[in-house]
Chains A and B, each alone.
Chain A
Amino acid sequence: MNQSFEIAHMCESILSKIATDFVGLALQNREGPDVRWHYAAGNSNDKYKKITVRYGKGIAGKVISTGSPITVNNFPDNIYGKALEYPIMLAEKLLYAYAVPIFYKGAPKGVLLVGRRTNKPINEGEQNIVRQAALSLEGMISGLF
């Protein structure tokens, strides 16, 4: 099984395991600091393929720059900054998102995001599943750098 297929399979598997609407995997470009969405499951369109966020911008850029998880509840209420700074939430019409970093050689290089189109947060157990999946993905993304 090649890496690409394994990663796509992992995204699909998270989608079914925790009954979420969207799962996406973003990675920092090999060259330069920009971040792109590479894989998605449950996506309602292909916008994610064209979206590039800058390091430190958008959910993916912020997770990579801080190396910490980010939760967005009831988007776009109570967000930091403007709704337009959250392109993946707009593109997929998400109201809730939980995004965790994926590390490569000790540095945050990727993001695993799960989202819902309703404002129903995932519970602690489900967050744990996402964190575990991010750990598993750490080994899989090595070939992409």
Chain B
Amino acid sequence: MMSSFWALHGKEWRISLDTPLGYVVATAFLFASGFFFGKNLFLYGQADMRGYFGVLPLLLMFFTPAVTMRLIADERHDGTFELLATMPVSTLTIIAAKFAFAWGQVGLWLLMTSVYAGSLALLGDVDGGQIAAGYVAAFLLAAFYASVGLFASSLSSRSIVAYVIGFVLVLAFFLLGATAGTLPVGWQDVLALVSPLAHFDRMLRGVVGLDDLVIPLAWTLLFLGLSWFQLERRQWQ
């Protein structure tokens, strides 16, 4: 099982490294990240990354579906899904390997932005704990977005459609968080408890509770489960 996991995981990296799209998206993400980081540093003179992490949910909303859109949609479109599904590999392994790739790819981008954290440390006193909490939050958010994107990719055989679905789904989560203030108080509490973005915001303040880790992971597992269901469905029709 592990060998097929690594084979599939490796294949996704190979495709990503052999096609220009991966490089274009990564460059655009790093460029946008640099812009928002620099804006806070030079315009407002803030030697922290709070401003940058603050726009991360929006940035990743545009960029993560670009990584995940092809993962299942293209397999369906090119007919290779039939090849994959008749190899000795379980649907669970397929989902796990593809998710691990997507998370790894977005995670790699985030790691690259640690250059900004390093340059801040050179400039002056920084709150290391806060930045570390920010990165934990960012990795969890990336996992959540990647799982939503993977699910979106399992819904269509056209990657552009998968991109739009993935984007709209995370946008819905984002807007729900943004309009939380207009909801009745009871609902606001529920939202604060279950919304992955609410936990992201809390972690940015440097407070990391167990629920801040568990809730985004639970959402990630839910969407991975939905993707699994979507692939297994042909078995039951």
Partners in one complex: no
